[in-house]
Amino acid sequence: MANNSHLSLVGKTAVVTGASSGIGRAIALELATEGAACIVHAGSNRQGADEVAATINSRGGKATVVIFDLSEPGRLTALVDDLWNTQPIDIWINNAGADVLTGPASKWSFEQKLDRLWKVDVAGTVLLSRLVGDKMKARGSGVIINVGWDQAESGMAGDSGELFSATKGAVMAFTRSLAQSLSPQVRVNCVAPGWIKTEWGEGASQYWHDRARRESLMDRWGSPEDVAHVVHFLAADAASFISGHIIPVNGGFRHPS
């Protein structure tokens, strides 16, 4: 359990969106292990969110679950107000993202995928960040951490590369501007994961496994926990002089020769 170091999150309340699986799950578990009371969000996967909260509570932590669709902007103000009135929020992690790589959505058209990603990944992040950011700034403290993509700025060929560079690139650019708007009371940063073995990676073809290793100086896939460790650091007082930055979590990107 947490200690009294600058990495401790004891006494803090954190919201992690998209925390029912993958990177969000790992983030919620890590923040809770370090002492934060966690609000575990899911868009529709209540079972996954309940399992994450149950794991946290079984380990002596504190977690509750909230279910809502980020693509419905009209509900976001009421949601943030309800959460804040229950317990002022110290840390807000915008991890939720539309899954257009697995399941039925993988068969959607490019236009359908773009629309869903824009509503959830971009508009959801922007609107939630502004709502909670205003409250944090008025209170005088807070941390917001967004999730981008390490190749959004360098580019990747293909439909998926175009989709994620457009949407995650927008999130990364927004992060830099929001950090200026909310300074000095609120710190805003963004982690930019590379090849992280989530559900899609587990089922990827040999081509993608080889590529993931080839494009990392560490010669391996990253894990959701690798991302969670960085988020934990950025959320803690140890990172009190870091704001407005995009932090790649990719094992060191190796440019194709």
Interatomic CA distance for residues 241 and 249, integer angstroms: 19
> What does the pLDDT read at residue 257?
61
Burial annotation 160-182 (CB, 10 A radius, 16+ → b, else e): eeebbbebbbbbbebbeebbeeb
DSSP annotation of 86 reads H
| pLDDT value for 73 | 86
Answer yes or no: is pLDDT of 235 > 90: yes
For each of the domains in the chain, give its residue range(s) and CATH number, in order of start.
Answer: 13-249 (3.40.50.720)
Per the structure block, which two tokens stand in for 257? 């020769």
Alpha-carbon distance of 47 to 34, in angstroms, equals 24
Q: How far is CA 107 from CA 101, 203, 244, in A?
A: 8, 16, 36
pLDDT of residue 5: 87
39-65: per-residue pLDDT in tens?
A: 999 999 999 999 999 999 999 999 999
The predicted pLDDT at position 205 comes to: 86
Cα separation of 118 and 121, whole Å? Answer: 6
Question: C-alpha distances in angstroms, 24 versus 42, 92, 153, 207?
Answer: 9, 12, 23, 26
pLDDT of residue 20: 96
Question: What does the pLDDT look like over 183-207, one tens digit per residue?
Answer: 999 999 999 999 998 877 787 889 8
Compute the distance between CA of residue 257 and CA of residue 147 in angstroms, rounded to an integer: 28
Which two three-digit tokens encode residue 123? Answer: 């508009």
Identity at 249, one-letter amino acid code:
V
Q: Are 178 and 129 in contact (CB under 8 A)?
A: yes
Q: Residue 148 burial by CB count (10 A; 0-12/13-18/19+): exposed, middle or buried?
A: buried
Radius of gyration (C-alpha) of the chain in whole angstroms:
17
Q: What is the pLDDT of residues 52-101, one digit of tens each?
A: 999 999 999 999 999 999 988 888 999 999 999 998 999 999 999 988 88
Where is average pLDDT lowest: 105-109, 131-135, 239-243?
Answer: 105-109
Contact 38, 56 (CB under 8 A): yes
Name every residue whose Cβ is closer than 8 Å to that of residue 161 and which is 6 or more positions away in sequence. Answer: 151, 155
C-alpha span between 51 and 188 (Å, rounded): 29
Predicted confidence at residue 150, as pLDDT, reads 92
pLDDT at 3 over 70: no
* Token pair in block for residue 105: 């959505």
What is the distance between the alpha carbons of residues 248 and 257, in angstroms, rounded to a whole number? 20
Q: What percentage of the chain has pLDDT greater than the value 90?
A: 77
Do 85 and 100 contact (CB within 8 A), yes or no? no
CA distance between the termini of the chain = 44
Lowest mean pLDDT of 120-134, 139-153, 243-257, name the range.
243-257
Residues 94 and 200: their CA atoms lie apart, in Å, by 20
